Amino acid sequence: MKFLRFLKAAAVCCFLTALTVQAAEKKPMNVLFIAIDDLNDWTGMLKGNPQAKTPHMDRLAAKGMLFTNAHCAAPACGPSRSAIMSGIRPSTSGNYINKSSFIHNPILNNSVLLPEFFQQNGYYVAGAGKLFHGYHFNEEVKGRGFDEYFPSKTQDLPSFEGLKFASKLPMGGWGRQADWGPCHPDVTLDDHPDGITANWAKEKLLGGELQDPFFLGAGIFEPHLPNYAPQEYFDRFPL
């Protein structure tokens, strides 16, 4: 009799465990989406440029699955981002240049964008920085697919205008589009647009404000030109 009671208890435990596992499997996972502009293979884990020092990304890659055979959908930023965010390649959409806003492209405009897909599946969608190519954040589009965006749904990037510099720029010779140089010694990473974006995303991620499930996107502008950073980051790479 004791053995039968034991078998019944064991069966109940197994059943409850199975239900718990099943419930856990059905619970949607939160998503952190980080986009870094013009990064290429300039990372330690991809070994494309051994002089690159990316310890934080290397640690993140070591904890997950690293894809080493990824290919860009288009050579230009705007079409590439449109392809990633819509799942539609440029040869289908006809979107090949940066000045072509997806909102004026009938194929892309009628597609379900990545943030919209998560919204439609019950996610709270928040983002900051350069995830699309700027044209997604204006009075016409207003950050379509996002419940919340920083700095706002009509401005995707914190401004570079407030940065101070130690010397007169540009140093790159091609004007601001190809400019680079260290900021004034008073400027810290927290003052930099990418630092502002990263800190906002960190506070959202760790602050407990986001309701589960959530999709949190953080778009980092550099190493896209212009390359402005505190002096300490230039000191790590003797020129």
Tell me, yes or no, if the pTM score tops 0.85.
no
Note the helical H segments in the chain: 2-26, 55-62, 77-86, 90-93, 106-109, 114-120, 193-206, 231-235
Residue 175 has pLDDT above 60, yes or no: no
pLDDT greater than 60 at residue 133: yes
Query: Domain coordinates of the chain in residue numbers?
Result: 30-235
Structure tokens that stand for 63 in this block: 């904890």
Q: SS3 for 36?
A: strand
Q: How confident is the model at residue 135 (pLDDT cuts 50, 70, 90)?
A: low
Of the residues 13, 14, 71, 77, only one is catalytic, namely: 77
77 is catalytic: yes
pLDDT in tens, 147-171: 999 887 777 677 777 677 766 665 5
| DSSP, res 141 | T
H helix and E strand count, the chain: 8, 6
Is position 133 annotated as part of the catalytic site? yes
Asked if residues 178 and 170 have their Cβ atoms less than 8 Å apart, the reply is yes
pLDDT tier at 32, thresholds 50, 70, 90: very high
Catalytic residue among 14, 71, 72, 133: 133
Is 115 in contact with 125 (CB distance < 8 Å)?
yes
DSSP annotation string for 63-125: TSPPP-----S-SSHHHHHHHHHHS--HHHH---STT--GGG-HHHHTS--HHHHHHHTT-EE
Return the exposure string of 44-74: e unless at least 16 CB atoms fall within 10 Å of the residue's CB, then b: bbbeeeeebebeebeeebeeeeeeeeeeebb
User: What is the pLDDT at residue 123?
Assistant: 97
111: left (phi over 0), alpha (psi -120 to 50) or beta: beta
Q: In the predicted model, is pLDDT for residue 190 greater than 60? A: yes
The answer regarding whether domain 30-235 maps to CATH 2.40.50.220 reads no
Question: Does residue 129 register a pLDDT over 80?
Answer: yes
Residues in the chain: 239
